[in-house]
Structure formats: C-alpha cells, structure tokens
Amino acid sequence: MPVILDLAGELASTGTVSFSLLASGNLHSQFKTKFGLYNLCLVLHVQFIEKEAMESAVRVFEDMEFRFLERESRIEEEEGESEAEREREVSLQQHAVNTAQERVLQLEKQVKEMEREKDKELNALKQERRELLHTSHRVSQWF
C-alpha cells in the first residue's frame, strides 16, 4: 500500500510513474483504485466549493433583501417624515438590493466558469489516466 502512495506522490510531482513498480497485477489494481478515488475527490472538492460560494451569495442576497424590507416597513410606519425623505430612503435601499443582486449574478457567473474549468481539468485527468493505464498495461505484459 505505501508504494501506491509513493506512486501518487511521484505522479503529482513529476507527472510520470516508474513503471517497474507496476509489475505486480495486485499493485496495478491498487493503483487504478487510488487514481480513480483521487479524481473523485477532486471533483467532489470543486463541487463543494461551488456549492458553498452559491449558498454564501444567496445568504448575502437574502440578508440584504430582509434588511431592505425591514427598513421599508419602518419608513412606512414613521410619522412626520416628508415624502421626499421616504423616497430617498427607498431609493437607497433599492440600490442596495440591486447591488446585492448584481453580486449574486457575478458569483453565479464565477461558479459557471469554475464548473467549465473543473470539467476541462477532469477531462484532462481522465485522458491522462487512460494513457497511464494503457502504458501500465503494456508494461505489465512485458513482465
């Protein structure tokens, strides 16, 4: 088992694997399992980060919307304020909500870009995995 970890470390640091270490069929199977788990972990980590970013943006938006509604309610309840002051306050709060909505849209765009990048990197990893498995299969046939 430690050999697999060394292989993963060697793969991460150099991008290559010493194929003499893959001669054993059992070791080859362990390598495939570890490499597949590594890809799965990468995908899950990226999805977790994207989910957290989206949830954070939604919380910020909902908080701003709640504050806006509270302030709007207070404004309507207060007596003695002039109509111009109320309109100004509503305008300021509407601006705050619009700003928060723009931020949510910006974060959604960033999440989509991260998803595209994740897919691109995952495809590259899958291709590299296929190449490594093909090469390791050829090497294991020599032994």
Instruction: Give per-residue pLDDT as tens, 39-95.
Output: 777 777 888 888 888 888 889 899 999 999 998 888 777 766 677 777 888 999 999
Q: Tell me, what's the pLDDT at 139?
A: 83
Give the Cα separation of 93 and 100 in Å (integer): 11
Give the Cα separation of 125 and 116 in Å (integer): 14
Q: Tell me, what's the pLDDT at 23?
A: 43
What is the DSSP code string of 97-139?
Answer: HHHHHHHHHHHHHHHHHHHHHHHHHHHHHHHHHHHHHHHHHHH
- Residue type at 136 in one-letter notation: S
> Phi, psi at residue 18, to the nearest 5°?
-75, 110
Q: Tell me, what's the pLDDT at 140?
A: 80
pTM over 0.75: no
- Residue type at 13 in one-letter notation: S
Give the Cα separation of 130 and 123 in Å (integer): 10
Give, as one character, the DSSP assignment of residue 80: S
Q: Tell me, what's the pLDDT at 1?
A: 38
What residue ranges do the domains of the chain occupy?
2-142
- Residue type at 75 in one-letter notation: I
Q: Is 73 helix (H, G, I), strand (E, B) or coil?
A: helix
Angle among Cα 54, 60, 61 to the nearest 5 degrees reads: 90
